[in-house]
C-alpha cells in the first residue's frame, strides 16, 4: 500500500482496487472500510493525519477491527480505556463482514 500512497505504483496495475464503503474521522485518525464480494476480501485502513500529512498507516485484511479510545491514567500508573475505566467507549467497529466469522483485533487510539 505504501507504494500506491506515495505514487511509486499505480493502483490500477495491482489488479485489486481499494473502494471504500465507509470513511470515518476519529480525531486525528481516519478509518476507511471496504470489501469486494466477488473476491470475498474485506479490509480496514487506519491513518493518523497531522497537518494534512499521513504520519501513521495500518492496514488489516479479513480481520474484524474495533477501535477504542485509550488514555493514560493519573498518576501515570497505567492506561485506561475510555472514561472512568469501565470498559470505555468503542468509537468504531467493522461493519462489513461478508456473512462470515473473522478474527478480531482491538485498535487502541
pLDDT tens, position by position, 63-105? 777 777 666 555 555 545 445 444 556 677 777 655 666 667 6
Q: What percent of the chain has pLDDT over 70?
A: 51
Full-prediction pTM beyond 0.85? no
Q: What backbone phi and psi angles, to 5 degrees, belong to 57?
A: -145, 135
Winning range, highest mean pLDDT, from 2-11, 34-43, 47-56: 47-56
Amino acid at each position: 500500500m505504501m507504494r500506491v500512497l506515495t505514487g511509486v505504483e499505480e493502483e490500477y496495475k495491482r489488479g485489486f482496487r481499494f473502494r471504500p464503503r465507509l470513511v470515518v474521522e476519529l480525531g486525528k485518525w481516519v478509518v476507511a472500510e471496504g470489501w469486494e464480494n466477488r473476491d470475498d476480501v474485506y479490509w480496514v485502513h487506519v491513518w493518523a493525519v497531522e497537518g494534512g500529512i499521513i504520519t501513521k498507516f495500518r492496514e488489516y485484511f479479513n480481520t474484524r477491527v474495533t477501535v477504542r479510545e485509550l488514555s493514560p491514567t493519573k498518576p501515570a500508573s497505567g492506561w485506561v480505556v475510555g472514561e472512568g475505566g469501565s470498559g470505555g467507549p468503542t468509537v468504531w467497529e467493522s461493519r462489513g463482514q461478508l456473512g462470515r466469522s473473522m478474527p478480531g483485533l482491538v485498535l487502541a487510539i
